Structure 1
Amino acid sequence: MENTINGEHIVQIRGVQAEGKMAAPEKRLNRFVHLVAMTERLGNALGAMAFTWATIVLLGGYPDNLDSTYFWLATAIVFLEAIRMFTNDNRLDYQLFFGTRGDFSLLGWNGLLIVMVYLSAVPVLLSKKLLPWRQVVLNMCMLAAIVMLVFIFSAKLTYQLMIIVYEVSALLFLSSGNFQIPAAVVRVVLALISLSDGVEGVEGEKGSKHNLEPSLNIFYGMVLGQGILYIVACLVEVFSFIPRRYLIRSGGFGGQMGVEYVNSYYAYAFEKCMGGAVLAPKKISLITFAMDSLNSDSSRKKLYGVQMLHKFLKKEQLRTKTIKKLTKDTNTVASLFDMLGWTSEGDEEIRLFAAKVTAELAGRLRVVQIPGATQLVASLLDTDHQQTTRDHFLFIDTQMGREDSPIQQVGMTEQDSLVLKYLKQMAIYCLIPVDEPSNMHQRNSHMLRWWKRITKRWSVPEEEPSTDQDFLPIQGLLIIERLANFDPGNCMEISRTTGLISKMIDFISYRNHMTSTNEAHQIMLPSLSLRVLRRLASTEGKLGVTLRQQILEHPFVLRNLEKILDDDSGSSHELKQLAAEILKNLAMDRNTSADIGHILVIISSLMRAFLSQDPSSSTNSNHLLWKNAGQALAMLAMESRDNCLVMLMEQGYVFIRQLTTMMQDDRFKCIAASLLWNMCEHAQSELSNSDLKELSYILREVLEGIMDAEGAELEVLIGLSSQICQVIPEDFAREVEHGQIKEKFIKRLVEVLNAHMKPSAHCPRIRRVIVQHAIYLMEFNSRYANDFHKCWMVEALSMVERTPSRAENYRLFSGDTGLMEHNTPLTALVARAKELMGREWVRGISSVT
């Protein structure tokens, strides 16, 4: 079963238990290794006891009572055990001479098989008629050749036994990987000979031989037990291919590399079991092995480790456990980042897999603890394309591109290895059945079908093919995106990395210039770059201001974004939506908003995305594009008369009418209301009579919305209402008077003012727009001052004076940082409102008296 996460397959491996937890795939192999290691360690224990017994009891207690034969037998066994004990301190020496693991080596068997193939099976290969049965015939011929050697020289039993002993000796010699089996056989033979002879060969008086016989029996019994345990351990180890092959299939390892992974893990587990206390629990797992390999000094082991970790991260049942262990090990994570900077020839593969593993972990890492981590990630984004496009022709080295063609030489050693490889492949081809083109008779053969099922079950799966994400810049962008999404501290590290943001901006136009990569890369690079830039541009607080400034320092960023928005044929809705969101965030700065407005194509593209689609029937991607384009336009319209005029004069649109239509839909009400608010505030002189009529048509809906809305929506609707009151005051007064909602509306404004004595970041201007609305009403008709007096507006204004807030000086907030500061302070507006109310109140008292 497979799932897909971030474009890669996540494989669910078999063996899931009923509770929902899966047993570790290496569990069977670990049990087998424990069995073999325990057997060998018991043999080692008996050997140590025999060594101590021989040196202290026999050679130390009865040296004069042993004849030369038994003395030298005991001495030989002691020296044999001494060699084993001293080589035990060196892992390589011990494995070379006395290790159980690999005692029957594959190369030895291959050598024997090659000899047998070319001595007895070559004629069979020449027979085309027996081709379907050649494997079975070859095996039978080899067996017959071995048996015939027993009877070919003599009919005497003695000679036949000698031939059998010779063949067995040759088999052991060819198949033995070290001296463990021969040494164990020597122990057993010497012990059996000595036990069979008893103590008849000892010298001395009867009293001096007291306890000698039981001492010798104990000694040779321990030696015999040691030899038997070693032989058993070696014979059991021969069948290690069964749990190893099971781990290959159940663990999802494929190809020759998978076989090497498992073989390396088997050696690692065996070494762990052979060390430390016998009964102490051994924490052995594939994940631990991969991490230890990654931290080793060998490049080959590092490659194995990082490739295995990548496989574990793609398995759903091992993913969480692997991430948990890796994120707790700072040294391993530091090693991964260090490998990202390996640019030497031959390190491409390990660098790619290190990038893949880092990309999987990046969503849970804080790189502040790893010096230079983001700079190493930035090195993944280096491409030849970026270098050639960035350099002016005056700075290009004239020697660039001159490379000497390397001369390929093949030595005799390499040729010999190829010959040996060919011979081994021939042997495997002849002895192991494979699928062949066959006739109907062969397909109907039960034996062949049964054999095919067996070979298929125990065959090694193929390696997984490479994906479109096997490209270093793509992996680098994935790492940066996940780091930025996880922790703001990572964003700060990204801002400090030299050239990183510039490289990502270059990738926005990657599709337009790159021809050396495949189509998938040309699509993914701009998309990932835009996603990372969106995250950086949307960062809150002062860090966000810094990141947006760094993005804007690139001279081509606005131009690249404009190309994406204006490209109707090549850019997808996703790219346009990301570009619109980036522009929205960049426009938070007043100067940047003006710079964007100077590129008329950007505003035209945003208006086309915002107005030319039917929002009610759009898909999710189209809706996001529409929303981000509208938000970008609303941000550009804030505090910018020029941008508002550009939008209002855009050809092909009746901007005000279309915005008033969008006010009917609750999904789009806030964005449309914000744009209408800014149009009335900054482009009032350019509004036509038809535009003013459209505003009067939606006035009732705006007033009704104020009665029910809360938060940011209430702030926008009150702001729009105040601007409509200023633009068309007669229509506003008529709507309020004839609708008989004047008292209710004014009361609502005062209540909202009293309820927001503590301004919040999501609606910092609500007290400002209410006071502004009251000023516009009283300036149009002073009689509204009496209505505000009745609702205790003066007391509310006094409370505003006593509770000033710096937050009310800004139009919006990014985190805790205010943006777009107002020119007129709120206190000045409160003073103006109180002045208007006081003047009308005096007039009212005079008229009464």
Structure 2
Amino acid sequence: MKFNKDARREGDSGSIRLDIVRNANGSGGSLDFFGPQPEPSDPTPRRRRDGDFRAPEKKLTLFALRLAVLEKAASGLGTLAFIWATVVLLGGFATSLLPKDFWYVTIILLSEGTRIFSRSHELEWQHHATWTLASAGRYSFRAIKSSSRFLVRAVKAAFHCAASASRLEGDRRRQIAAEEEQRRTVEFQKQLVRYGTQRTWHPPEVPLLPYAGWVFISKNISRALTWLQIASALSCVTLSTMRLVQQDYGESAQETANGKMALDLFYGLALAEALMFLVEKIYWTWKISYCGLLQQVSTECELGAAGVVSIRRFFYDAYSQCIERSIFDGIKMDLVTFAAELLDSESPDEQLIGARILQQFAKSESFAFEALRKIGTTTRAIERLIEMLNWKNPAEEEIRRCAAEVVSKLAGKRQNALRVAGIPGAMESIASLLYTGGGRAASASRTAEATAADGSSDAVATGESNYEFAVFNLLGLLILKKLAKDDDNCFKIGNTRGLLARIVDFTSAKQGLLRNEHALESQIRAVTRALQVVKMLVRATGGTGKMLRQEISEIVFTVSNIREILQCGERHTELQKLAIETLTGLAMDETAKERIASTGGIVKLLFAIFFKPEFVSENSVGVEAGEALAMLTLESRKNCVLILKKGDVLERLIAALANPVLQLNASRILRNLCAYSGAESAWLNQITAAMSTVLKATMKETGKLLEVSIGVTMQICKFMSSEQFAAELERADIKEADYVEKLVKILKEYKYPDIKVPRIRRFVIQQAIWMMRCPHEKYLKLFKDLEMEKLLESVAETTSDLECFHVFSGSVGLSQHRKTVSSIVDNALVLLSGGTGQEE
């Protein structure tokens, strides 16, 4: 745990703001509750420079703009030619035209009319053409391919098992191949279900005419219209060029200059319009087919295998905007807004396209920053994503999974997390992700137990159905873990009906899972994430934390699930560490503290981990176990007596004082045992054996260890006489004057309360009071010579609430000392002035 000694922040001179340091990932890094934790300054998000931001879809919108310019120019020329022909030629020169020119003009007008009509509807059909069953076909191909591979692997695995003794390895390979084949087959079936069970027609497969077969289904109409336009343009080019070259308009037209010019102008306009349209088509074909613009943009956008379909749909929408409205409307489009709008569609295909785009952008390192910022500021998009979390139809599984992944990314940013949690019903929607299909959250653990019993990994089931509940469970827990970084969200989680119980259910990990070498990683990950969420909830600050600790401790499975992890989780030390940290947080509640200690085996397991040699290292499971024991013994006479009855615990704690890693928490436990077990406890007579070690620590250590060493010394002194204390000083090779000078030096050093060691001045003064009460008064004289009275007066002027609590929940003090520092200082001043003072 890191502390900032100077907790003053810019623009807030003279004030100190303290708050809990929340661990970003819910694991790792011990949070010390014996001192307040300052709030770290939020990292300023890196501002992207203009050159850093990439938007590959801008290539498509620019391409759509250029095509629209050509299209509108061609349409303008075509309209002018049509008006010229109908008004001037057929209206003014109809009687003077040769039959040949009449039919040429008529055919060109019909061709142009056909092209304009087909062009006006082509984009609509192109939109329908993007709704294809390509994804289903792709899954079909993969399923067949996977099936063939699976057969080959099965044969090889069977042969290998017959030829060697590695049967378990072969079973494992077959299981993985079978699960992969089943997953792909299920995906294919879901695609078919999506189109076969919906209440409306799938647009690409609509039969426009009965008994017409595949010819008149809508996905082929777009191609027919495209070729019709090309044929029309080519006919216009051919006819117009022929007449412009031949120039045989007849004697009537030749004699009338206006008639000849009118025909030349019409054929010229028709030729220009048709050529411009063909240039547009050539440009389109060059960029799309030859240069592969759609595939290129899809690759740059990192949209994956299905990205081309999404990009094609985006391009057609942008092109439609440019054609139907201003040519500049299309360039205002972007993929994130486009995808968010598709989420509101009634079509499952469009919803899937939108969800896939947002999912890929949210996961991409290149686009996540801008994408999440845009989604986070669009309330309707967040509401729709939250709504999708409730969808349980198997045909909508992929949409729901994409939405859950996007929400998990949104929850990773504090501002977005507040917006997500602020959506009405958001917590209930997230809770729906924790559904396990059978109403039993620990099904994975029981499956693992069955595996262990059979001695074969073939017993591992894939679940009660083909629906991937485990994936959604992990995503739901991940979202909750990110939301729990904020105390307001913790309050909402706690107030959501049944959610705490569901989270606790996922912490269940039986022996069959924890000791199974073939346990699936997803099973362990679910337990880990659930523990991370519970840990963050019980370590919430203020009234929210108090409420959550009470409610979680009242769930009967909480402590027993943690006990299973401590007892059988030797393979998973990080899991054990999370479990112990959760216990430490729960122990901050007085009722939960005794409930934990009374649960059979918890205290014994914690001591076993604390004293285990392989766990004796910085930031290890052993250190966490020591902190949990220190919290369990704090102000709990029942727990202290329970621990003192456990054999040689006291001797081992005293021996642990010689270990630099265990010394801090061992000292805390010993101090609590002395302070709260009761003076009549016979077990404490041997505690004096620790005096020499803690006296040495007082003389040479600093920081927290110095603070707790003085606290232990003060408590041990209650069980010995002044002569015994002097003998212990001598045995530690410490002169009495040096020890008194050390205490005075500490008060001089800590002129003000320190958030790292908030109780050090209290412990020093209490130790000085005990020494000044000694009958021979030599310590009293030493303190007077060192001007202890002035130091005490200085302490009295600088006392604060920071020094009045045993533990802290962020900046909120818990377990207040019975006496204030001011009263202790007054008592010491009375003794220095020759009075009797009050008993401590």
Shared fold (TM-score greater than 0.5)? yes
1:225 counterpart (272, 285, 294): 272
Q: Describe how 1:59-98 pairs up with structure 2 within 5 A.
A: 66=97, 70=101, 74=105, 93-95=121-123
For residues 250-287 of structure 1, the C-alpha deviation after alignment (integer angstroms, 9 at most, x for no partner) is: 666665x4553344344334435545544688255554
5+ residue gaps, structure 1: 7-18, 108-171, 391-465, 843-849
User: C-alpha distance in 2, partners of 1:718/1:55?
Assistant: 107
Q: Structure 1 residues 79, 756: CA separation in 2 closer, same or farther (over 3 Å shift)?
A: farther
Counterpart residue number, 1:655: 649
Q: Deviations over 1:212-231 (max 9, x none)?
A: 43333223212112222323
Aligned mate of 2:699, from 687, 701, 704: 704
How far did residue 523 of structure 1 move?
Answer: 1.9
- How far, CA to CA, are the matches of 1:106 and 1:786 in structure 2? 95
Partner of 2:473: 473
Aligned to 1:628: 624
**Mapped partners of 2:764, 2:487: distance in 1:** 36
Aligned pairs for 1:382-401 within 5 A: 382-386=435-439
Any idea what SS the aligned residue of 2:395 has?
A: coil
In structure 1, what is the Cα distance between the partners aligned to 2:605 and 2:544? 29
1:215 paired with 2:262, answer yes
Asked if structure 2 preserves the Cα contact closer than 8 Å seen for 1:199 and 1:213, the reply is: no
User: Which whole-Å CA distance do the structure 2 matches of 1:375 and 1:518 have between them?
Assistant: 30
Partner deviation per Cα, 1:555-612 (whole Å, 9 max, x = no partner) = 221222122212256x621221111000101111222212212124111111111112
Is 1:376 matched up with 2:429? yes
- What secondary structure, in the 3-state scheme, does the structure 2 residue paired with 1:650 have? coil
Change (3 A) 1:704 1:776: same
Deviations 1:634-654 (A, max 9, x none): 111111122223223324xx4
Matching of residue 732 in structure 1 with residue 725 in structure 2: yes
- Give % identity: 30
Give the Cα–Cα distance (whole angstroms) in 1 for the partners of residues 329 and 437 of structure 2: 55
Tell me the equivalent position of 2:487: 488
Kindly report which structure 2 residues correspond to 1:812-827, keeping only aligned pairs within 5 A, or say none.
812-827=807-822
CA contact (8 A) 1:597 1:603 kept: yes
Work out whether residues 78 and 112 of structure 2, in 8 Å CA contact, stay in contact via their aligned partners in 1. yes
Contact kept? 1:362, 1:482, Cα under 8 Å: yes
Q: What does residue 642 of structure 1 align with?
A: 638
- Whether 1:791 and 2:786 are equivalent positions in the alignment is yes
Q: Secondary structure at the match of 1:610?
A: helix
Residue number in structure 1 paired with 2:530: 529
| Matched positions, count | 667
Q: Classify the secondary structure of the residue corresponding to 2:391.
A: coil
> Partner residue of 2:189?
none
CA-CA distance at 1:794 after TM superposition: 3.1
Do the aligned residues in 2 keep the contact of 1:294 with 1:301 (CA within 8 Å)? Answer: yes
1:668 has 2:669 as partner: no
After superposition, the Cα gap between the structure-2 partners of 1:776 and 1:614, relative to the gap in structure 1 and judged at 3 Å, is farther
Could you tell me how far 1:376 is from its partner in structure 2? 0.8
The unaligned stretches of length 5 or more in structure 2 are: 1-23, 26-49, 135-219, 444-465
Change (3 A) 1:222 1:731: farther
Q: Following the alignment from structure 2 to structure 1, what is the Cα–Cα distance between the partners of residues 790 and 754?
A: 21
1:213–1:760 CA distance, 2 compared to 1 (3 A): farther
Q: Distance in 1 between matches of 2:127 and 2:272?
A: 16
Deviation at 1:666, TM superposition (A): 3.9
Deviations 1:302-352 (A, max 9, x none): 112212332334444334443343334333232211111112342222112
Alignment partner of 2:686 out of 682, 691, 695: 691
Indicate whether 1:774 and 2:768 are aligned: yes
**What does residue 320 of structure 2 align with?**
271
Structure with more relative contact order (C-alpha pairs < 8 Å, separation 6 or more): 2
Q: Structure 2 CA distance, aligned partners of 1:552 and 1:219? A: 89
Q: After superposition, give the CA deviation of every residue in 1:456-478 in whole Å (9 maximum; x if it has no partner).
A: xxxxxxxxxx9999611111111
**Structure 1 residues 572 and 266, CA, compared in 2 at 3 Å: closer, same or farther?**
same
The one-letter code sitting in structure 2 at the alignment partner of 1:383 is T
In the alignment, which residue of structure 1 is the partner of 2:447? none
Are the aligned partners of 1:590 and 1:820 in contact in 2 as well (CA < 8 Å)?
no
Once residues 519 and 567 of structure 2 are traced to their aligned partners in structure 1, the CA distance between those partners, rounded to angstroms, is 24
**Structure 1 residue 632: Cα displacement:** 0.3
1:722 to 714, 723, 729: 714
Q: Please tell me whether the aligned partners of residues 405 and 475 of structure 2 are also in contact (alpha carbons under 8 angstroms).
A: yes
Change (3 A) 1:287 1:225: same
The match for 2:309 is 260
The offset of 1:762, in angstroms, is 4.2
What amino acid maps onto 1:379 in structure 2? S
C-alpha distance after superposition, 1:168-201 (max 9, x if no partner): xxxx999634432233234334433543454735
Q: How far apart, in 2, do the equivalents of 1:388 and 1:359 lie?
A: 21
Per-residue CA distance 1:72-95 (angstroms, 9 max, x = gap)? 76566567656766887x7xx343
Partners of 2:223 and 2:695 in 1: CA distance: 96
Q: CA deviation at 1:723?
A: 1.6
**Offset, 1:505:** 0.2
Tell me the amino acid that sits aligned with residue 769 of structure 2: I
Amino acid paired to 1:732: F
CA gap of 1:703–1:763, structure 2 versus 1, over 3 A, is closer
DSSP 3-state at the match of 1:347: helix
1:605 matched to which residue of 2?
605
Instruction: Tell me the distance in 1 between the aligned counterparts of 2:317 and 2:222.
Output: 26
CA 1:535–1:719 in structure 2 vs 1: closer, same or farther (change >3 Å)? same
What TM-score do the two structures reach when normalised by structure 1? Answer: 0.69
1:322 matches 2:322: no
Q: Give the Cα separation in 1 of the matches to 2:91 and 2:345.
A: 46
SS at match of 2:433: helix
Code of the aligned partner of 2:412: G
Contact 1:501–1:551 (8 Å) recurs in 2: yes
Displacement of 1:755 after TM fit? 5.4
Q: Please state how far the C-alpha of 1:498 moved relative to its aligned partner.
A: 2.0
Aligned to 2:400: 351
SS for the counterpart of 1:588 is coil
Equivalent AA in structure 2 for residue 728 of structure 1: M
1:742 to 736, 747, 750: 736
TM-score by length of 2: 0.70
- Secondary structure in structure 2 of the residue aligned to 1:780: coil
SS across alignment from 2:613: coil
CA displacement at 1:531 relative to structure 2: 0.9
The answer as to whether partners of 1:510 and 1:525 remain within 8 angstroms in 2 is: no
Residues in 2 aligned to 1:174 and 1:689: alpha-carbon distance in whole angstroms: 91
Question: Secondary structure of the residue that 1:824 maps to in structure 2?
Answer: coil
Distance 1:816 1:251, change over 3 A: closer
Q: Are 1:830 and 2:831 an aligned pair? A: no
How do residues 279-290 of structure 1 correspond to structure 2 at under 5 angstroms?
282-283=331-332, 286-290=335-339
1:176 aligns with 2:171: no
CA 1:382–1:599 in structure 2 vs 1: closer, same or farther (change >3 Å)?
A: same
**Worse-superposed segment, 276-285 or 591-600:** 276-285
Q: What SS class does the counterpart of residue 386 from structure 1 fall into? A: coil
Q: How big is each residue's C-alpha offset from its partner over 1:525-572, in whole Å with a ceiling of 9 and x where there is no partner?
A: 211100111111222233222222232232221222122212256x62
The separation in 2 between residues aligned to 1:811 and 1:805, in whole angstroms, is 14
Q: Deviations over 1:13-59 (max 9, x none)?
A: xxxxxx99696666776676566554434322322333454466556
Partner residue in 2 for 1:595: 595
Q: Alignment partner of 2:806: what SS?
A: strand
Secondary structure at the counterpart of residue 698 of structure 1: helix
Q: Which of 342, 346, 351 is the matching residue for 1:293?
A: 342
